[in-house]
Amino acid sequence: MKVDEGHVPVPGGNVWYRSVGEGGVPLLALHGGPGAPSDYLKPLEQLADRRRVVFYDQLGCGKSDIPDDRSLWTVERFMDELDAVRDALGLDRVHLFGSSWGGMLAMQYVLDKGRPPVSMITAGSPASSRRWNEICQELLDELPDDERETIERLEAEDKMLTPEYEEALGPFYRRHVCRLDPWPDYVVRSFDRMATPIYHYMAGPSEFRIIGTLRDWDVMDRLGEIRIPALITCGEFDECRPVHTREVAERIPSSRLEIIPDASHLCFAERPEVWMPIANEFMAAAEA
């Protein structure tokens, strides 16, 4: 299968990309975080037997430039970055995929940029920071008492940047982020190379509350403006709970909701035998 890698210029620096496969209407994949490199999206290469699949590390993480400039970490600049990647790689007619934060970025891009893709696919992506905080608090409340109390104690002691806090989150991650055991190398790589300065600045140090610059981000009331086919997916045990994913799908006129059983936040990696055929069928229908 044809593979191409390189760097392209975007506002603020250069970003690394990887292109797998050729032909068809390409799929451009947006990773989460903000600041989680695209390694964990590797399962999407399975879609490259029918189309070109393109990944890139957003500025500030992975193999892309890592400037020390907080003024670059805005939703608007990340949308301009997406435009620059499309232009550089000839992705005018394209499907757009977003995981978690990548799906948030995709929704905002479709709403604001006036350059709609053929379709949009999201996986575990909220449409409101406020709702994310609410549903994650529900998950925190449902944890066993000892796990919840340890997490709350460490947060109260401002120890969210310590190995102890990371260890305390382990059981939550294994239930609601990735249920594969052990975690695949490509998932581990993304977590190990997380660009924490961007993540903490835009989202915050806690997994359960968005308190950074994205704290007021909300497109719930605008979802009805999305007029392209949209596939909204999540896992049965996703930290972006199905109750909210359903809210998102219900507000987008031409949407399809798929809740992947026995999966969580990385549903496309946990249950590829379920997720990939759904994505292929959806994109084929959108093209038609």
Identify the pLDDT of residue 206.
Answer: 87
SS3 content of the chain, % helix, strand, coil (to 5): 45, 15, 40
Identify the pLDDT of residue 161.
Answer: 86
Identify the pLDDT of residue 288.
Answer: 93
Identify the pLDDT of residue 112.
Answer: 98
Q: How far apart are CA 206 and CA 92, in angstroms?
A: 37
| 265 part of the active site | yes
Q: Which two tokens stand for residue 18?
A: 């990887």
Please provide residue 284's backbone torsions phi and psi, each rounded to the nearest 5 degrees: -60, -40
Identify the pLDDT of residue 70.
Answer: 96
| 176 part of the active site | no
State the DSSP code for 215: T
Are the C-beta atoms of 282 and 231 separated by less than 8 Å? yes
Q: Average pLDDT per run of 10 along the chain, which is 288 residues long?
A: 97 98 98 98 98 98 97 98 98 98 98 96 98 95 95 92 92 96 97 95 92 97 98 98 98 97 98 98 97
Identify the pLDDT of residue 93.
Answer: 98
Q: Which of these is catalytic: 238, 244, 255, 264?
A: 238
| 238 part of the active site | yes
Around Cβ 261, how many Cβ atoms within 10 Å? 10
Cis check for the bond before 144: say yes or no (omega within 30 of 0).
no
Q: Which of these is catalytic: 31, 95, 200, 265?
A: 265
Radius of gyration, alpha carbons of the chain: 18
First vs last C-alpha separation in the chain: 25
State the DSSP code for 137: H
The number of angstroms, rounded, from the C-alpha of 62 to the middle of its chain's C-alpha atoms is 15
The number of angstroms, rounded, from the C-alpha of 193 to the middle of its chain's C-alpha atoms is 16
Q: How far apart are CA 245 and CA 234, in angstroms?
A: 7
The three-state secondary structure class of 18 is strand
Identify the pLDDT of residue 190.
Answer: 97
Architecture of domain 3-287: 3-Layer(aba) Sandwich (3.40)
Identify the pLDDT of residue 276.
Answer: 98
Q: Which two tokens stand for residue 271?
A: 């249950």
Give the domain ranges of the chain.
3-287
